[in-house]
């Protein structure tokens, strides 16, 4: 019988987020600077066999939910094969993937057949030019097609991630609310998180998500909290009057949700991170050939987890990062 992964504060961790690559077919402004990122060598990236060993060790300790991230996970060859193998691990009950959607229309059916259950799709603008500017070259039509593909395949609930940025896409809140009205999606607004060194001017883009509730009220469609919002995810969920979908607010700066955190992260180059913000990380490669050692490493990662991060609207990521800064593209969001 599986055990439980508990940290020093009594939080049970049943969720593992796995970055399978640091490569991406887009260059989103909140993820990296205009010059991109220095890519890992291929031999630095965990193989699928190595990832599977970590999932199996996690499942033996009570991990029930796995999310595949990147970079962009769909640019890695053979990703459907990994999903099929993870789906077959005893104890894994929830298998999801975060994507920018550019490749989902062509790969979605294969991923669904392999055992993928849900997707989160990044969609930061409904205006083609703004979308191109945010993603530095992305095709909005492909991402909208990805939403349709996910809905038609039953990869539900389809979650749409919108990083809200001042003077970039904040005038589109009403448009996004209309999208949630028309489609049975979970529309999730996310506060801008300053994680990487390219975020020196992050406060110019930051908006607290009270902006969303205010605009919904001004439109005569006030958000009301719903029972679905009482889960263990970071989003507080709300109903929008007359809408087919739900609206979620993820507020890592203005309303910390650290007290309910249930996740560990595995980076593409083989490090366990207990927190997206703090830089503590443990190398998994030395333990890969010993299931018991891997399980002890997972438990050690939880012992290193701090009570909460220190991002706030005032200080961003100014404290605790040291000189081993690992940005979002290197961690997996």
The per-residue pLDDT for range 219-233, each reduced to its tens digit, is 999 999 997 654 457
Residue 170 in tokens: 């904040």
pLDDT at site 332: 63
Whether 94 and 114 have beta carbons less than 8 Å apart is answered as: no
pLDDT at 279: 79
- pLDDT (0 to 100) of residue 46: 98
> pLDDT tens digits for 115-137?
999 999 999 999 999 999 999 99
Q: CA-CA distance, 20 to 59, in Å (whole number)?
A: 18
Condensed to tens digits (0 to 9), the pLDDT of residues 222-263 reads 999 997 654 457 899 999 999 999 999 999 888 777 888 999
For the chain, which residues score pLDDT lower than 70?
A: 1-2, 195-201, 228-232, 310-333
The contacts of residue 221 (CB under 8 Å, 6+ apart) are 177, 240, 241, 242, 243
Q: Please tell me the predicted confidence (pLDDT) of residue 323.
A: 41
Categorise residue 147: left if φ over 0, alpha if ψ from -120 to 50, beta otherwise. Answer: alpha
Please compute, for residue 214, the number of CA atoms within 13 A of its CA located in the half-sphere on the CB side: 7
User: 15-331 — its CATH code?
Assistant: 3.20.20.70
CA distances from 29 to 35, 193, 322 (A): 11, 12, 23
pLDDT at 38: 85
Q: Quote the pLDDT of residue 194.
A: 74
Output the pLDDT for position 322: 41
- Average pLDDT of the chain? 90
The pLDDT assigned to 326 comes to 59
């Amino acid at each position: 019988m599986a055990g439980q992964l508990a940290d020093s504060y009594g939080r049970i961790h049943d969720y593992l987020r796995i970055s399978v690559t640091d490569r991406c077919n887009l260059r989103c402004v909140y993820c990296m600077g205009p010059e991109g990122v220095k890519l890992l060598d291929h031999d630095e990236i965990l193989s699928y066999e190595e990832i599977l060993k970590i999932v199996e060790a996690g499942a033996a300790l009570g991990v029930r939910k796995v999310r595949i991230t990147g970079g962009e996970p769909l640019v890695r060859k053979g990703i459907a094969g990994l999903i099929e193998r993870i789906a077959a691990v005893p104890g894994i009950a929830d298998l999801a993937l975060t994507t920018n959607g550019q490749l989902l229309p062509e790969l979605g059916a294969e991923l669904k057949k392999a055992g993928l259950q849900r997707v989160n799709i990044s969609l930061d603008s409904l205006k083609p030019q703004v979308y191109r500017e945010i993603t530095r070259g992305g095709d909005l039509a492909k991402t909208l097609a990805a939403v349709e593909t996910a809905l038609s395949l039953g990869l539900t609930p389809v979650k749409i991630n919108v990083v809200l940025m001042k003077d970039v896409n904040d005038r589109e809140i009403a448009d996004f609310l209309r999208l949630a009205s028309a489609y049975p999606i979970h529309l999730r607004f996310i506060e801008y998180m300053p994680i990487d060194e390219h975020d020196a001017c992050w406060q110019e883009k930051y908006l607290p998500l009270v902006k969303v509730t205010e605009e919904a009220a001004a439109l005569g469609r006030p958000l009301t909290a719903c029972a679905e919002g009482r889960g263990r995810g970071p989003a507080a969920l709300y109903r929008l009057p007359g809408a087919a979908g739900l609206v979620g607010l993820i507020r890592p700066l203005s309303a910390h949700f650290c007290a309910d955190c249930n996740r560990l992260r595995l980076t593409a180059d083989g490090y366990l991170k207990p927190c997206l913000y703090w830089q503590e990380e443990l190398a998994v490669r030395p333990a890969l050939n010993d299931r018991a050692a891997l399980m002890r490493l997972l438990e050690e990662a939880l012992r290193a987890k701090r009570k909460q991060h220190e991002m706030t609207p005032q200080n961003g990521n100014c404290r605790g990062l040291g000189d081993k800064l690992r940005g979002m593209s290197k961690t997996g969001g």
